[in-house]
Amino acid sequence: MNSQPLKIALFGNVYQTQKNRYVEAIVRMLHKLEAEISVEATFAGFLTTRLNLSLEGCKVIQPGTPLGDFALAISVGGDGTFLNTAARIGSSGVPILGINTGRLGFLADVSPDDIAPALRRLCEGDYVIEPHSVLAVEIDGKPFDLRPFALNEVAVLKHDNSSLIEIETTVNGELLNHYMADGLIVCTPTGSTGYSLSVGGPIIVPRSGTLCLSAVAPHSLATRPVVMCDDVEIALRVHSRSGNFLLSADGHSQSLAEGCTITIKRAAHTVGVVKIKHQSYFETLREKMMWGADGRG
């Protein structure tokens, strides 16, 4: 155990009451391990009002509070909650441990059954931190207000009631393609097992120094995902019959008018993902994708 209390920031899902029944055990265990716990304000309000959970001995992280003093952050939920935690952590360098109370859980990979031993090893320093690349997204040279950084992906998408859109795509100023599709996804290796995978994109090994462009329902069968080094600058200009489109970063979207330029490039910072089990990415893939499992009844 460290001589100084481990300062931990706790974040969580505020929409699914049933999945937060593990939080009390997490807080109790961290107190037992003499960690200093601070709970994000919205999550703290949810826990006290909806779950009647006492947060005695815990501090509350108010909006805008700098997080650089924390040793670690814990995200309780699924991968969506992890992405929201990463957005709040920003460029502070605080690594994140994901406790998975969601579904698949590539980022949040500690199962509820493993909470106690995982937290014990966390407080003992028995873990590794994997740096994951992040995308920076700008609109006409200014950071995207809704979410300026994305750990998984940035996407331009048509509105539900509009026809397909044309996405003029350049890489380092050179034209790549005029995509005619429902949308275009630019993903990191971390995000390759998310939205991009669902539209036929490849699985990319983390820390490979690459990113991928995958079209959503392209008009041409010749359109295929493109993988490239992540030191490039990608610019997107959207032309839409309705005059507008959606810009999404890690699932948070905003309607924009056509004519603006979306710029996407690798951010200067990374997000540290805490791994307790020390298992390889290929082990995680086999487990999550059920590769090699006999599905016969």
Residues assigned a catalytic role = 79
CB 190 within 8 A of CB 133: yes
- Please name the residues in contact with 222: beta carbons below 8 A apart, sequence gap of 6 or more: none
> Exposed e or buried b for every residue in 248-258, given b needs 16+ CB within 10 A?
bbbbebeebee
Contacts 24+ apart (CB under 8 A), 108-115: 108/75, 108/77, 108/78, 108/79, 108/81, 108/82, 109/275, 109/277, 109/284, 110/276, 112/22, 114/276, 115/22, 115/25, 115/26, 115/29
DSSP type of residue 112: G
CB 114 within 8 A of CB 97: no
**Token pair for 170:** 């350049």
Neighbours of 56 (CB within 10 A): 7
Distance in angstroms (rounded) separating the CA atoms of residues 156 and 134: 17
Q: Could you tell me which of 259, 268, 279 has the C-alpha nearest to residue 156?
A: 259
Say if strands 244-249 and 174-181 run parallel, antiparallel, or are unpaired: unpaired
Q: In 133-250, where does DSSP find H-type helix?
A: 195-198
